[in-house]
Amino acid sequence: MAGDKNAAIDLTSGVNKAAILLLTLGEDDAAEILKHMGPKEVQKVGGAMAMLSNITKDQVNHVLEEFITIVASQTSLGVGTDDYIRKTMINAIGEDKAGALMDRILLGGSASGLEQLKWLDSRGIAEMIRLEHPQIIAIVLSYLESDQAASVLQLLPENTRSDLVLRVATLDTVQPSAIQELNVIMEKQFSGGSNIQSAGFGGLKVAADILNFLDGSVEEKVLSNIKHTDEDMATQIEDLMFVFDNIIDIDDRGMQALMREVSTDALVLALKGADANIKEKFIGNMSKRAAEMLVEDLETRGPVKLSDVEGAQKEILSIVRRMSEAGEIILGGGGGGEEYV
């Protein structure tokens, strides 16, 4: 559907269904709902709303009926909704993230300066922190979601990237007073109060997650530079990275759940650059008809750009990580670091 308003509307997409639901509401009601969504969700749903056109009455009815069914089965509206929302948020995004979000939703609290950074685009964040001390930049990168941090890192000077990743990897805890001071710096650009107490930032896993989202060539260069500085740390980071080849370690049930979340176009692009074992992993978990269609799509698809292949693979890896964090799939095996094209 991307980029084509005349394309058929995919009603298996949760984003599209959310967009249709919001489009059926008045502007004020839709705006109230969007206020309670995170930056990524607003961008995804807003983009889908902009792209949707020629929505039929049947499609609207389908979405509304599904919405009513879900609401009716999950909660009695108006009875214990705060507790219900809190539990739902924790299940969806984890206790730490849910806590900050619930403060804003239920208590009307304003987001802190650091939290509001997540609402900026990557270029805006990069410009804001470019001249700060590298340790401050590292803390900011640790605070952002991994994909957003990777986008910001790629916009910072090339000769600083490896040092920043090393700093992220060696971060463990940050004193609350230091976080508060950093928050004040950020709030010079924003309005709102702050009461940051969490002091856990960074570490090897955060560094690995950021590297997972970097473009292939940038990731390779950053890792190479880190190896020259600290080979043991580079190895530890590589061991924590989950690369596309590691998908082969997911069990069949997890693979089938994953494929329900991945678009056909992204899968075809990603597999254009995958080895035979990975292709077989996907094909072996499809119905005979679906497998035949995928093989045909792979054979008829002409040459594709390496950057498009890497982008599709990273899109699928992002879904894998989200599903893993939600407990929907279990990641087997271990580190990667293998190069893929």
Per-residue pLDDT tens digits of the chain, which is 341 residues long: 444 444 567 777 778 888 888 888 767 777 777 777 777 777 778 778 877 777 887 888 788 777 777 665 554 444 445 565 556 556 655 665 555 555 444 433 444 556 667 667 788 888 888 888 888 888 888 888 888 888 899 899 888 898 899 888 887 766 666 666 676 666 665 544 344 334 455 678 778 878 877 777 788 888 888 888 888 888 888 777 777 888 888 888 889 889 888 888 889 999 987 888 889 999 999 888 888 999 998 888 888 888 888 888 888 888 887 787 777 887 654 333 333 33
pLDDT, position 153: 92
pLDDT in tens, 249-283: 888 888 988 988 888 888 999 998 788 888 999 99
CB neighbour class for 125 (10 Å; exposed up to 12, middle 13-18, buried from 19): buried
Q: 244-325: which CATH number, 2.60.40.10, 1.20.1510.10, 1.10.220.30, 3.40.50.720?
A: 1.10.220.30
Hey, where are the domains in the chain? 1-74, 76-109, 114-240, 244-325
pLDDT, position 108: 39
User: Are 206 and 171 in contact, with CB atoms under 8 Å apart?
Assistant: yes
pLDDT, position 185: 67
Question: Which DSSP string do the residues of 109-148 spell out, in sequence order?
Answer: PPPPHHHHHTTS-HHHHHHHHTTS-HHHHHHHHHHS-HHH
CA atoms within 13 A on the CB side of 274: 26
Among 15, 13, 12, 24, which residue's Cα sits nearest to residue 56? Answer: 24
d(CA 187, CA 12): 40
d(CA 111, CA 27): 23
* Cα 167 off chain centre by: 22
Alpha helix ranges (H) inside the chain: 14-24, 27-35, 39-51, 57-74, 81-93, 95-106, 113-117, 122-129, 134-143, 146-155, 158-170, 176-187, 204-213, 216-229, 231-240, 252-259, 264-272, 276-283, 288-300, 306-325
Answer yes or no: pTM beyond 0.75: no
Same fold, 114-240 and 244-325: yes
Cβ neighbours for 144, distance < 8 A, ≥ 6 positions apart:
117, 118, 125, 152
* Cα 185 off chain centre by: 26
* Tokens representing residue 165 in the block: 């990743």
d(CA 319, CA 296): 24
Q: At what angle do helices 276-283 and 264-272 cross, to 10 degrees?
A: 160
pLDDT, position 112: 57
* Tokens representing residue 85 in the block: 């929302």
* Tokens representing residue 83 in the block: 């507790």
Question: Which DSSP string do the residues of 208-234 spell out, in sequence order?
Answer: HHHHHHS-HHHHHHHHHHHHHH-HHHH
CATH code linked to domain 1-74: 1.10.220
CATH topology of domain 114-240: Annexin V; domain 1 (1.10.220)
